[in-house]
Amino acid sequence: MGEQTAVKFPQEVIDEYAALGVDLPALFSAGHLGTRMGVQIVEASAERVVATMPVEGNTQPYGLLHGGASAVLAETLGSIGAMLHGGISKIAVGVDLNCTHHRGARSGLVTGVATPVHRGRSTTTYEIVITDDQDKRVCTARLTCLLRDADSSAAPPAAG
């Protein structure tokens, strides 16, 4: 669990970050929390971010997918979309996350798909739909991020 596969990024985005010596897949990974939860980023662009997460290991006492796990998946995907929209000169900071849990999941993988609702100069909002293995909606979330100017103390980590 937690092994990262190759993320599909648009070539122009890869080139932009590579020129700065930034390891793009590491920068836009699910981070330590996402790794512990088994989040796998499958596709990433400002227009669409997709990832999977196992239900096993992310359940509450009743054996259902924990609502907080869905929130982690949603915030991860929306944040990646916001960061890709903002580009290398911006840092995305989540300011509002809401999740509606529609049904439980007991096993298998859930898949999250984030698509933009609003992509502005200072804020972004993404809708994240999380479905189970039968393509039934488990959760609908919305994340709004503030896009702040990057400075040297908040710059993306360099590769290596």
Residue 21 contacts residue 14 (beta carbons within 8 Å): no
3-state secondary structure of 6: coil
Please give the radius of gyration of the chain, using alpha carbons only, rounded to the nearest integer.
15
Task: State the Cα–Cα distance between residues 51 and 68, nearest whole angstrom.
Answer: 16
108: left (phi over 0), alpha (psi -120 to 50) or beta: left
Q: Which residues are catalytic?
A: 75
